[in-house]
Structure formats: structure tokens, C-alpha cells
Chain A
Amino acid sequence: MSLAKRIIPCLDVDDGRVVKGVQFVDIRDAGDPVEIAKRYDEQGADEITFLDITATAHERDTMVHVVEEVASQVFIPLTVGGGIRSIEDIRTMLNAGADKVAINSAAIFNPGFVKDACDAFGSQCIVVAIDAKKVSQEGEPNKWEIFTHGGRKETGIDAVEWAQKMQELGAGELLVTSMDRDGTKIGFDIELTRTICDSVKIPVIASGGVGELSHLSQGITEGHAEAVLAASIFHFGQFTIKEAKQAMQADGIEVRL
């Protein structure tokens, strides 16, 4: 008996509705976040992540209500990401019922923010989201860099070094998304996932590219991730979380069923 590998459905939320864009462009409406969260809880989701994809001030209030509503009905861990820029933003989300927040671009503008956040609330609730793109050419050693603004803006920061730095600053977990794979449905960037997982002590969630159930197992067995995150394969009823866990169990992975 040991720790189960986790499946985390991700709900991209825009103005109180769940959406999922293909590489953040073609956005389709997949419904009400509270109903979807309840459905995933019933199916056995290990956690749920909400990503506020626009994160304007008005959006923030909408998101707080969504989290409050979900947290009073769904008793599994909830993570909120998107536009988390200040200690006050974190406090607001935790008070609304979130268990963790995912910090992304605010960490890049000010890495000290991650340390301040961990000191204030504890590492257990601070997830750093890393959006990485491969920058090495065919035949060169692998190299990935951090991109912001939905993968459009390069920062020149090495993704693996960044992951280690975030661990040093106190992050409790990393959410690693391949911007090359996000929305493609061809599977995780396994080399990216494995390189980061093997270079840190903290748990890593693999994200970006899941299109079929075998991809989830690959993230664990080949990518060495502790958890896998997916959105569209669950939102449109293509697979249930339970089916995904059964497939992982059949691949010899310990899951909570």
C-alpha cells in the first residue's frame, strides 16, 4: 500500500462558465462549474483545478462565488489558478474554500512572491504553474523555456532550472504544462515531464496534450509524474474519471478507486 497517483480534471473558467480552448483559441462552452465539479467528485476525481482564464477584477468576484459554491458541496481538494498576483488574492481564494492556489506569471515577475506566499500560508497550498515550450532544435540536447501569455511570450528562463528554483523558494507542488502539446490530444511531452520530475523532490502534475486514456498512464510510468491533469477528454463525456482510473490500474498504477 502506498500513495495513489492522482487524476485531476481541470476546468477552465471564463465568466463563471467552464470552457476549454484548443491551444487557447477555439473555445467551446462545456457548462456550469458547480455541476461539473460535482460530477467529477462522484466519478472519483482526486482533486479539481479551476483555471480562471481571463482573470479580470470582475472575473475574480465571479470565481470566488464559484469556489464558495463548489467548496460547500464537494469535499475533495480544490486548486484555483489564473491571475493570482498578491497575498490578498491567495487569502481571498483560500477563504472562499480553495485548498491550493496555482501561481504562474506572478512568480516570473517576482520570484520572491512564491517565498512570501509559502511563508504566509504554508507550502502545502502553493502550486507553481510552469508553462514550458521546447526551444532546442532536432539533434540538440533537450532544452525547454518558460513562456507566458498562453505560450505567446518567451521569457528566456530555463524550465528545469526554474522548477528547481521554485522548489527552493518553498513551492509544495509543480504543475508542468507543455505549451507545444496543450490542446493537441497527442499526449504529454514525456521528456519534459520526466526531466523536471527527476530533478525535484516535490510532487509534479503533468499537463498538456491528453487525448486518450493511455496518455494518462504514460505521464506516470514514463514521465514519472505524481499526478496527471486533463480537461477536454472528461468535459465532453468522452471518458469518465472512473474509466481513466481503471485504465491506469490495468497498467499497474496504484489509484484510488
Chain B
Amino acid sequence: MSQRLVAVVDYGMGNLRSVSKAAEHAADTNTKIIVTSHPNEIEEADAIIFPGQGAAKACMKALLDTGMIHPIQKAAKEKPFLGICMGLQVLMSHSDENDGVDCLDVIKGNVKHFDLDANPELKVPHMGWNQIHQTNEHPLWHNIPQDSRFYFVHSYYVQPENTDYVAGLTTHGETFASALSTKNLFAIQAHPEKSAEHGIQLFKNFLQWNGQ
């Protein structure tokens, strides 16, 4: 069996080293992790890890500047695809951040800020270890106990139009979708690369997943 190629997408807006180190830690000898900013390597890769940090507008601009928009939209429909944090949010149609930003529109829905009017006591960013309640039996949840804690740091969250895509729920003042899954795509608001053993398990599960 030939080596499986997994590409961590570099568009200048991610904690790439943390993500690639965690993926390498989880990988077996048959898996090669590369960090790339070349559309043709995204095309060639067997699976894609799409991290992201920072603001939505800056992320979309970085994707545009690196010629990554079309390759990411294509890969997100075709092969095993793992979105992390901002790599989840920019998959949506639109984000309210930075006075409104059109995003990749891979999943229909909006990205909105935690409601501080409804929850005046809430601390934002939502920063720290919170539970994810798994709402489906996805292969990426394999060997991760129900309601395990993952590390989060974000001020906005996703609202998919189709709630069938919700794979996990988390509560911080309000209950929000902390993981989404479509046929070949899984995306998580938390940082598995910073979530100790459960995060490493999620990478292991992703690296073994055929996208079905």
C-alpha cells in the first residue's frame, strides 16, 4: 500500500506548527503529513486538514491572496476534510465578524457572535476546556467518550441552516454547534491539536477515515 498523503493547508493564518505536530504525533508510518500552500498539492493529497486562526476577514483575504479559495471548496466536497476553529467558520456562507464577511459557502449558514446582551455575565472569548456532546456516531468520535472536554478559544460560532449537519453541541451561555459533519467533511470549533489525549485521538480517527 502506498503512503497516504495528508495536507495541512498553509494560507498564513493558522497555528500550523501545532496542528502539523499533533497530526504527526497521531500518524502511523503509512501516513505522510505535509504543510502546503500549493493548490496542486491540495489536489494531490488524499486528505486535507484546514486550520485557521484570527479574524474571518483576514482569513478570507489570505485564502484569496494564496489562490486557495477554489481548491479548498473543491477538496471540501471530494475528500476527507478536517476543518479546525476558523477552518470551520470560513466554510460557512457568511460571518458577522468584521461587519460582515462572505465566506466559502461550503455549508449554508451564518457565523455569529456570542450574545452578550442575553448573557451579561458571559466571558468572551470562550476560552478553555468545555464539553462536546456528540450528536451523531461519526467515525471521528471513535474512542472519544461522550461529553469529553476539548480546548476552545473563539468569540463567534456557526449556525448551519441544515441542523442535520450538527455533529456536536457545546454550551457557553447558549448551546451552539461545536462540530459539523457532511459526507466527507468534519469540522470542529475546538482545537484538537491542543486538547491532549482526546484531541490526538480525533486526529488518529481522521487519519484513518476514508471519508464515508
B196/A41 in contact, CB under 8 A = yes
Nearest chain B CB to A244 CB, angstrom units: 15
Nearest chain B CB to A2 CB, angstrom units: 6
B residues less than 8 Å from A76 (CB atoms): 151, 194-196
Q: A16-46 toward B: CB 8 Å interface, digit per residue (1/0)?
A: 0000000000000000000000000100001
Would A122 and B55 be within 8 Å (CB), given that A1-B171, A46-B128, A97-B21 are in contact?
yes
B17/A95 in contact, CB under 8 A = yes
A201/B18 in contact, CB under 8 A = no
Q: Is B193 an interface residue (CB 8 A)?
A: yes
- Residues A85-143 near B (CB distance < 8 A): 94-97, 99, 121-125
Q: A interface, by DSSP: helix, strand, loop or mixed?
A: loop
A residues less than 8 Å from B149 (CB atoms): 4, 256
Q: Is A202 an interface residue (CB 8 A)?
A: yes
B171/A75 in contact, CB under 8 A = no
Nearest chain B CB to A153 CB, angstrom units: 30
Q: Is A3 an interface residue (CB 8 A)?
A: yes
A2/B125 in contact, CB under 8 A = no
Query: Which residue in B54, B124, B130, B151 is a CB contact (below 8 Å) of A77?
Result: B151
A99/B18 in contact, CB under 8 A = yes
A residues less than 8 Å from B31 (CB atoms): none
Query: Complex Cα distance A201/B114, Å?
Result: 12
A residues less than 8 Å from B196 (CB atoms): 41, 75-76
Would A2 and B21 be within 8 Å (CB), given that A77-B194, A202-B123 are in contact?
no
A3/B130 in contact, CB under 8 A = yes
Q: Is B4 an interface residue (CB 8 A)?
A: no
| Total contacting residues, chain B, CB less than 8 A | 37
B residues less than 8 Å from A121 (CB atoms): 53-54
A residues less than 8 Å from B122 (CB atoms): 201
Query: Complex Cα distance A96/B206, Å?
Result: 25
Q: Is A173 an interface residue (CB 8 A)?
A: yes
Q: Is A63 an interface residue (CB 8 A)?
A: no
- Residues B107-132 near A (CB distance < 8 A): 116, 122-131
Q: B184-212 toward A: CB 8 Å interface, digit per residue (1/0)?
A: 00000001011110011000000000000
Query: Complex Cα distance A254/B133, Å?
Result: 16
Q: Is A6 an interface residue (CB 8 A)?
A: yes
Binding site for B on A (CB under 8 A): 1-6, 41, 46, 71-72, 75-77, 94-97, 99, 121-125, 172-173, 201-203, 226-227, 256
Sample of 19 further A-B pairs with CB below 8 A, known A172-B127, A227-B128: A1-B130, A1-B171, A4-B130, A75-B195, A76-B196, A77-B153, A94-B15, A97-B18, A97-B21, A124-B53, A124-B127, A124-B154, A172-B125, A172-B153, A201-B122, A201-B123, A202-B123, A203-B123, A256-B129
